[in-house]
Structure 1
Amino acid sequence: MFRRREPVPFAFLAEADKYRSNVTPPPRERASFGEMAGRWLLGLTIIAGLVGSLVLGMPALSTPSATSTQQSQASQGH
């Protein structure tokens, strides 16, 4: 460990670099079956919504090349 060269106004700040707690945090509780099922359901709903919006949005993003040729042919026929 390195030592600080500048003066520290409070002694506890100087000692904070080498302080280690011997208290371990409690273990995390395992999620219940209902919580796990809810997380999976939420994830699947979000993924299904993204896929659905992509499927429904693809026709709007495609170029209408076939319809413009049909319109130009119909205007020439009149």
Structure 2
Amino acid sequence: MFRRREPVPFAFVAEADGFRSNVAPPPRHRSSLGQIAGHCLLGLTLVAGLVGALILGRPALSSGDAPTQTQQAAHGR
């Protein structure tokens, strides 16, 4: 293949790296105290739900080696 000898029509793309804008970005939006409290409460609710599910689910995850109360009562007769 042969190379073109004419200049690239998009030469401004190479100059874009040195361009600096004089427009400042808008200031960041600051969350209000109520929004921060709401985010904290939502996070605490999610963590409490996961901990509660783990506590309630632990008996179902046990291996079942320990005899239950109904089995102990049946053997005690």
TMscore range, shorter length: 0.5 to 0.7
Query: Equivalents in 2 of 1:54, 1:19: separation in Å?
Result: 56
* TM-align CA RMSD: 2.5
| Pairwise CA distance, 1:44 | 0.6
**TM-score when normalising by structure 2:** 0.67
Secondary structure, aligned partner of 2:66: helix
Task: Name the structure where helix makes up a greater proportion of residues.
Answer: 1
Rate the CA distance shift 1:53–1:9 in 2: closer, same or farther, 3 A. farther
- For 1:63 and 1:8, how far apart are their aligned partners in 2? 73
C-alpha distance in structure 2 between counterparts of 1:42 and 1:63, whole Å: 34
Q: Does 1:44 align with 2:44?
A: yes
- For 1:7-48, what per-residue CA distance to the aligned partner results, in whole angstroms no more than 9, with x for missing partners? 754022111122222222121122112211111111111111
Number of matched pairs:
66
Provide the residue aligned with 1:35 in structure 2: 35
Distance 1:45 1:38 in 2: 10
